[in-house]
Amino acid sequence: MLQASEPPQRALPGEQKAVHIGKAQMFSRPSLGFTPPPYVLGADMPGGAWKAVDLPYAESPQVQIQPPQDPPLTTEFWYRLAVPALAQEASPLYLYLPRWKSDGQVAIYGDGRLLYQSDAKFLWNAVNLPLWIPLQGTAGAPAVREVQIRGQRLRHTGAALSTAWVGSSAAIGWRYQVRYWLQSDFPAMSSAAFLAAGVFALGVWLWRRREALYLLFFVMSAVAFVRTLHYFVSRQRLPISDEWFGWITVSSLFWLVLTAHFFLRYMHGVRHRWLTITACTITAAVSAVTLPIVPALPNAALLSPLLYVVLLVLGTTLFAMACLDAWRVRSKEAGLLAGWGLISLLAGGYDWLLQSNLLVNVEGMYLGAYSNIGVFFIFSYVVLHRYLAAIDGMERVNTHLEQRLREREGELAQSYARLRDVEHRETLVQERQRLMQDMHDGLGSSLTSALHLVRHGKAGSEELAQVLAECMDDLKLAIDSMEPVDADLLLLLATLRFRLAPRLEGLGMALRWEVQDVPLVPWLDAASALHLLRILQECFANIVKHAQASCIRVECEEAQDGGIEVRVLDDGRGFDVDAALKARGRGLKNQLRRAEAIGARLSWASSAATGTRCVLWLPLESAVVPAPGPKAAP
């Protein structure tokens, strides 16, 4: 009978009493197959020799490779414990077992009445979960004085039972809750978080297919989640058999180590072909040999102690080489993960000893379930480090681009300054050539005519004065055309009036100026202004020389078709326009040529009765419209 350890009781918060039981009586005998536990103990209670044992009590497994048989060879074991009277038994009492291990089934009785039986996987129903059993299931039930534990396990597999606690929920409930959270809830949450990070990595890989690292991490997280299932689902019935669940649980640990090897190889970039081939071969061999599809093959759960030894050797080799490779290539990320892999293998060695009931206290907790936490944080660090490195790289690239942009802007500014200087020089050259050409055609021609008259003695004082006045007019027009007019036609016409009015008054001609406000002419530059002045100058010169007029009227207004009309009218004797255009003289033809050069239209209307009317039409937008031939004005 399981007896209370000395001292059997100690007071706990809330004035409740609890007992920590550390001694028991134990009995075992061979059996065949798994039989249902009886509801009430009677003749089923063995009557042979019981032996006293100290708790926790453990029996190590014996690895024997035997072909499976149906029904399997099993061992039936019994424990008996006495529950001493507690200070307050009015409150419901509970039995708390931190850990029990049996590759089979277990049933708990209170004073011979069934209180609990395992109802899940035979091989995985007691891996990591503590038991919490009410000893008084109904109101008014008497206090339990003896607890019997009956179990069956596969023969040659280990079994273990921890110490027991009996007391009220207020006294010992916190112990169960803390252990259950550490052994089941926390591993479940960490595995779920690890899998969630893997799904995130899968999404990144689907977006960036070249980054195989994220796909490997997803595979590793999925395999790790499958591997840790037995830590927190061992009490639930699963839709697969014990054999397949055992195969998945054992083989997935090999898959996890192999996936981690590929993940690390991708991170540090070092390839060991022989090592990869060896790891793949061992993983494939273990997965194939333990497949539960061939009845002659041994069960994976029975071989797990031996297989885990192979895994420890393989994993230690892989992660040690990964640490060495990471150190050689100075990969901090790969070094962290490989180092955590070695730490996880140490935890796995502890778990192997705990599972095999060797050297460690059977009341300890499996540490392998917490390996996912470290991998999760390391992956988060890797992602954060890469993100920050990407940002830093982008900032460096942006800084480099800004520097290059400033350099290019400086080069463009210098280039623009050179081009502007060249353009300025070309403008000066063109303006000089224009002035030289205009002075040659205007002033030069007039001076040549005056020189010819003087040499041949044909020039009187009046003729010579007139020629010199024309030369002065040409020179003044050339100078006026160089003045900026800012597209203001009226300003240009005012300059012309200022130059010509004194001369016309000296000749006895009246000048009437009837100018209205007109829009600006954007295309009116220096060259166009000179063309315009030359056209009007030729009109005035023809009136002075040939019309014998007494009055000249200048009109300027916006035309109905969108342009501007400048009209010069006199009351002279008129002339034949068609005959003048066909004659050898170049005056009217030069006017037409200049009008065409600025995109304007020029026409004349003349008669002896009304005098001459010269109309110059100017466009508003541009001076590129070709001018039509001359036509008589209405």
In tens, the pLDDT along 376-435 reads: 888 888 878 878 888 888 889 999 999 999 999 988 998 888 888 888 787 777 667 666
Q: What pLDDT, in 10s, does the model give residues 20-52? A: 998 999 998 888 888 888 888 877 778 778 899
Integer-rounded Cα Rg, in Å, for the chain is: 56
Q: For residues 199 and 221, what is the distance between their CA atoms, to the nearest angstrom? A: 8
Side-by-side strand order, sheet with 16-21? 4-12, 16-21, 164-167, 94-97, 131-134
CB atoms within 10 A of CB 471: 19
Q: Terminal CA-to-CA distance of the chain, rounded, Å?
A: 140
Bridge-based pairing of strands 551-558 and 510-515 is parallel
Q: How confident is the model at residue 626 (pLDDT cuts 50, 70, 90)?
A: very low
Q: What is residue 353's predicted lDDT score, i.e. its pLDDT?
A: 84
Sole residue written with tokens 């034949």: 576
CB 194 within 8 A of CB 375: yes
CB 115 within 8 A of CB 133: yes
For residue 56, say if its preceding peptide bond is cis, omega within 30 degrees of 0.
yes
User: Higher pLDDT residue, 424 or 336?
Assistant: 336
Least confident of 472-481, 581-590, 614-623: 472-481
CA 286, distance to chain mean position in Å, is 41
- pLDDT above 90 covers a percentage of the chain that reads 15
Q: For residues 455 and 440, what is the distance between their CA atoms, to the nearest angstrom? A: 20
How many Cα atoms are found within 13 Å in the side-chain-facing hemisphere of 397?
6
Sole residue written with tokens 């010069």: 568
* Encoded tokens for 294: 């061939």
Asked whether the whole model's pTM tops 0.75, one would answer: no
Q: Where are the alpha helices (DSSP H) in 440-522?
A: 445-455, 461-481, 489-506
List all residues 6 or more positions away from 633 whose beta carbon is below 8 Å from its beta carbon. Answer: 603, 604, 605, 613, 615
Q: For residues 592 and 628, what is the distance between their CA atoms, to the nearest angstrom? A: 9
CB 352 within 8 A of CB 309: yes
CB 339 within 8 A of CB 327: no
Least confident of 143-157, 268-282, 508-522, 613-627: 613-627
Q: What pLDDT, in 10s, does the model give residues 224-248? A: 888 888 777 766 666 777 778 878 8
User: Higher pLDDT residue, 448 or 181?
Assistant: 181
Sole residue written with tokens 């055609």: 441
